[in-house]
Chain A
Amino acid sequence: DSGVTQTPKHLITATGQRVTLRCSPRSGDLSVYWYQQSLDQGLQFLIQYYNGEERAKGNILERFSAQQFPDLHSELNLSSLELGDSALYFCASSVAPLYTGELFFGEGSRLTVL
């Protein structure tokens, strides 16, 4: 158990819909990262937050947004969903912004868009 909690574990929705994925980082971790894992693309970095502030952005679509709240949990919002958004979405956390490179990953939220 990494200590990172993600909900929901599975989500099935239709194209055009909007979903919110939730992440609680490990106790004491201030940095939260979101990754997308598709079959052919490996782990794609989406966005990073540190203590409530956005720190880095990767290949995140404009239809996607995220935030980190004062209690340090984070939410990833995916809107106007397309079939290609079907993927496993991972949240990860670390104490500080990757000073050692070690990330603690949650079990992921599997999104299926029909």
Chain B
Amino acid sequence: GQQLNQSPQSMFIQEGEDVSMNCTSSSIFNTWLWYKQDPGEGPVLLIALYKAGELTSNGRLTAQFGITRKDSFLNISASIPSDVGIYFCAGRSYSGAGSYQLTFGKGTKLSGIP
């Protein structure tokens, strides 16, 4: 099946730092998405990318859809305490019969340095 390799698996962040994470796959996706999961909550969509090469921002978050359609990255600038959580990349692909499938990476856990 399709697999997404997300890295890093975890990282500690200090307030004000910039953070980068990425997602790669051996499969091509026609949409890349980034979700964030806060403790005790379900994932929430942050950014969706629909075209290869597309660069999209949402506040301090910037994400890009790789030219090969097999990768994507997410940057968080000037991190703040509420940025901690688990970030998931997801790739959307057509699964037939008018349906699409969403494949998730295993997540990047951002923790704050106490």
Contacts and interface: CB of A to CB of B under 8 A. Distances in A.
Nearest to A4: B42
B74 interface: no
Given A2-B44, A90-B42, A56 B95 contact: yes
Nearest to B4: A42
Interface string A14-41: 0000000000000000000101000011
A107 interface: yes
Given A41-B106, A42-B88, A42-B106, A98 B43 contact: no
Contacts of B21: none
Contacts of A98: 92, 99-102
B102 A45 contact: yes
Interface string A73-96: 000000000000000001010000
Interface string B31-62: 10100000011111100100000000000000
Interface string B72-114: 0000000000000000101010010111111111110000000
Given A101-B48, A102-B45, A107-B42, A43 B88 contact: yes
A44 B88 CA distance: 12
A107 B40 contact: yes
A33 B100 CA distance: 12
Contacts of A99: 100
7 contacts: A43-B107, A44-B104, A56-B95, A97-B98, A103-B45, A106-B42, A107-B40
Given A44-B104, A100-B48, A105-B41, 4 more contacts: A42-B88, A45-B103, A50-B99, A97-B100
Interface of A: 2, 4, 33, 35, 40-45, 48, 50, 55-56, 58-59, 90, 92, 97-103, 105-108
Interface of B: 1, 31, 33, 40-45, 48, 88, 90, 92, 95, 97-107
